[in-house]
Structure 1
Amino acid sequence: MSDLDTASPETAYLWGYVAGDGAVRSGDAPATGESGAESVEAAGLRLTAPDETSAERLAAIAGRSAVEREVTDREYLHDTSITRREESFVVDVAGDFAAAAERFGVPVDGETADETGTEPETGTERETETGSEASEESEPAPAYDFDALADHPRPLLRGIVESTGTVCFKSSSGTVGLSVVHESRQFLRRVQELLDALPVAAPTGDVAEASSGYWFGVDDEAVPAVGAAIYEDCETFELFAPTRRRKLRRSLNQADVEVTARV
């Protein structure tokens, strides 16, 4: 098991999942149950994986051995009248992960800059003058900053895309689409920055409203190269969801795009 507050390929992959479609609980915030009664959930983290293989890998990184299977109905991004039934696997781990989450810019108890109406500045240096040097413990990273995971962009992006991204073959144009959906505009802007930093061109559209929050898409022409870049060396640490990689490969084959060994 990796220490979850230490930057590594494993923790980058896990925190990508948590940021994309998961949650970190401090154990202090009240939660409302189905009956409407408020209670305090135990501290921990929760994430959802698309297949059992990736769920078990993520559970092992987080220090848990068991996963739970769920079947849910999900709305399509552009037509909420159509739903699809999906099988997923839930990893829920008890423990105090708040400090680790803050170190990597992942919100705790659902708080984001979107809700407070403020967005932290990026690209600015912290004070380092004598007597005012900031420590990592005293200054948590801004929401979705991810700077502490900068050495592991591919597993981080892989976790994000697998948890909250959609890959599909567009029969009308014969191309492959890649979109990312999230409740936070700020999160999506951070993901666009991560894509911009890839060694291949990754142009994206503007962040727009969706039925479940906000979304953006990668330009269709760039998807084959972007997909290959995200999944490059994914087998080295076995940090990928086999079902999602197969979906990408199948979609590229449908579009008559040569699938490289990297995907």
Structure 2
Amino acid sequence: MSDAESATEIEVPSDPLAGHAATAYFWGHVAGSGDVSDDGIEVVANDEASAQVLAAVAGGDLEHDTTSREYAHDTSITRTEDEYTLSIDGDDDSGLLGRSGTLGLPVDGRGNYRFGAFSNYDRELLRGLLEGCGTVCFKSKSGTVGISFVHDDADLLELVRDLFDDCPVDAPMGELSETSSGGYWFGVDDDAAPDFGAWLYENCDETGLFAPSRRRKLERSLEQAEAYDE
């Protein structure tokens, strides 16, 4: 069975707005790489298995394409990658986007995300955010692993930084800075990246709430860092 096939076999709550590991992961992705409007939701994933998970949580239609984009930290570099877009119609029968309910969308009238319902699932929320708007890389010059979050919305990244306060591993961060493409970013300190990354993906196989390609990239980067030290 492929990653994409097994990814849909996850525990999904009946209410996609309720506090649950699956919904925390889903809304982390939406915040990181999605667009929420009265018409619906579009969220983009670069991993087929994680895209299938998002569809299993909230329904909708998936489309696959390839795209070329500038690297956030250096616009002279472009990369081509798979792109899976999940579209959820605001008029569907699930009520996911209904504003008449007592819960409503996890955004306020100014577009700010409200994640209080997922306070017991910070790991899954952060994992979704990392896979939605984060980067993982091996820094060949220093022999360390880099983990950073990049987004056009500085307020969202400040919210991500607040989530680190409750992280059970010590994960100091750099200051929020502007990217060359006009967005914002911050990085986890290199010394803390291995422990943070290990915690973020710990036991994720039990729930299926992760992107296998992103976890493999993290594991390869950690292996490269260990070999560099040797």
The TM-score with structure 2 as length reference comes to 0.84
**Bigger Rg, which one:** 1
* Equivalent residue for 1:248, pick from 218, 221, 224: 218
How far off is 1:98 after superposition? Answer: 5.3
CA RMSD of aligned residues (A): 1.9
How far off is 1:212 after superposition? Answer: 4.1
Q: Which residue of 2 aligns with 1:203?
A: 172
Q: Which residue of 2 aligns with 1:224?
A: 194
Give the structure with the higher percent helix.
Answer: 2
The equivalences for 1:47-196 within 5 A come to: 47-64=43-60, 66-95=61-90, 97=97, 99=99, 105-106=106-107, 111-112=110-111, 143-196=112-165
Contact 2:26–2:57 (8 Å) recurs in 1 = yes
Whole-angstrom CA distance in 1 between matches of 2:137 and 2:177 = 19
* SS of alignment partner, residue 144 of structure 1: coil
Amino acid corresponding to residue 69 of structure 1 in structure 2: H
Amino acid corresponding to residue 97 of structure 2 in structure 1: F
How far off is 1:91 after superposition? Answer: 0.7
Amino acid corresponding to residue 150 of structure 1 in structure 2: S
The structure-2 alpha-carbon separation of the partners of 1:249 and 1:106, relative to structure 1 and needing over 3 Å to count, comes to farther
Map Cα deviations across residues 149-203 of structure 1 (whole Å, 9 max, x no partner): 1011111000000010000000000000011001111111111111221111111
The structure-2 alpha-carbon separation of the partners of 1:106 and 1:70, relative to structure 1 and needing over 3 Å to count, comes to farther
Amino acid corresponding to residue 63 of structure 1 in structure 2: G
The TM-score with structure 1 as length reference comes to 0.74
Q: Which residue of 2 aligns with 1:129?
A: none
Q: Which residue of 1 aligns with 2:34?
A: 22
Whole-angstrom CA distance in 2 between matches of 1:103 and 1:252 = 40
Whole-angstrom CA distance in 1 between matches of 2:140 and 2:67 = 26
Contact 2:66–2:83 (8 Å) recurs in 1 = yes
Contact 1:51–1:241 (8 Å) recurs in 2 = yes
How far off is 1:107 after superposition? Answer: 5.9
Contact 1:182–1:212 (8 Å) recurs in 2 = no
Q: Which residue of 1 aligns with 2:7?
A: none
Q: Which runs of 5+ in 2 are unaligned?
A: 1-11, 91-95
How far off is 1:77 after superposition? Answer: 2.2
How far off is 1:206 after superposition? Answer: 0.7
Whole-angstrom CA distance in 1 between matches of 2:135 and 2:98 = 29
Confirm whether residue 11 of structure 1 aligns to residue 23 of structure 2: yes
* SS of alignment partner, residue 142 of structure 2: coil
Whole-angstrom CA distance in 1 between matches of 2:176 and 2:98 = 28
Amino acid corresponding to residue 214 of structure 2 in structure 1: R
Contact 1:50–1:244 (8 Å) recurs in 2 = no
Map Cα deviations across residues 92-134 of structure 1 (whole Å, 9 max, x no partner): 111351548x7564367xx54xxxxxxxxxxxxxxxxxxxxxx
Q: How many residues align?
A: 207
The structure-2 alpha-carbon separation of the partners of 1:150 and 1:82, relative to structure 1 and needing over 3 Å to count, comes to same
* SS of alignment partner, residue 150 of structure 1: helix
Amino acid corresponding to residue 86 of structure 2 in structure 1: V
